[in-house]
């Protein structure tokens, strides 16, 4: 799960009245934001403008997914740790009515994020885990079907 001692996660979870998974996810997200926010902005204005237009076009191209489809992140639209870049996920359900993230921090990229796709991912123990995502960030999977994904090789 992480290098954080399980007893510390359990204690913090009890103190905050949250589940351990939720608390750990929030702690890791905060650490990730801290790390990313201290990095210098790498693009000049013209490159940034071009990239913004390209990413918006990619976001707006939607696919019609159905249960059982294998999908992956679209290039440049990954906003969560899993699935990893190039890691396949399976569509469990496409919600007719999206839910919206309950993140209450308006400065968060997850603030009111549209969640209309439930995907299944295999964890390190080989279990199917279900997560909610914005379907606009995904495309049909086009990976090399013959080679196992590095994160799945040990399962």
Q: Which residues pair with 70 in a beta bridge?
A: 90
Question: Residue 72: what pLDDT?
Answer: 97
Order the strands of the 89-100 sheet from edge to edge.
Answer: 128-133, 114-122, 89-100, 70-73, 138-140
Strands (E), the chain: 70-73, 89-100, 114-122, 128-133, 138-140
Mean of the per-residue pLDDT values of the chain: 81
Tens-place pLDDT, residues 75-103? 999 999 999 998 999 999 999 999 888 77
129 vs 8 pLDDT, higher one: 129
- Can you tell me the mean pLDDT for 124-151? 80
- Cα separation, 41 vs 151, whole angstroms: 30
Tens-place pLDDT, residues 35-81? 665 556 677 888 889 999 999 999 999 999 999 999 999 999 999 99
Of the pLDDT bands very low, low, confident and very high (cuts 50, 70, 90), residue 111 is: confident
Q: Are 54 and 76 in contact (CB under 8 A)?
A: yes
Of the pLDDT bands very low, low, confident and very high (cuts 50, 70, 90), residue 25 is: confident
Q: Where are the domains of the chain?
A: 6-37, 63-140
Q: Where are the alpha helices (DSSP H) in 17-136?
A: 20-37, 45-60
- Cα separation, 26 vs 16, whole angstroms: 12
């Amino acid at each position: 799960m992480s290098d954080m001692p399980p007893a510390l996660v359990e204690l913090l979870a009890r103190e905050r009245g949250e589940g351990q998974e939720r608390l750990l996810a929030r702690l890791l997200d905060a650490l990730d934001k801290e790390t990313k926010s201290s990095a210098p902005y790498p693009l000049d204005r013209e490159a940034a403008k071009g990239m913004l237009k390209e990413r918006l076009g990619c976001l707006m191209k939607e696919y019609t997914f159905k249960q059982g489809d294998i999908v992956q992140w679209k290039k440049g639209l990954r906003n969560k740790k899993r699935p990893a870049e190039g890691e396949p996920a399976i569509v469990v359900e496409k919600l007719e009515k999206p839910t919206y993230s309950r993140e209450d921090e308006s400065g968060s990229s997850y603030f009111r994020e549209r969640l209309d796709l439930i995907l299944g991912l295999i964890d390190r123990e080989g279990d199917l885990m279900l997560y909610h995502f914005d379907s606009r960030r995904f495309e049909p999977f086009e990976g090399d079907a013959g080679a196992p994904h590095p994160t799945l090789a040990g399962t």
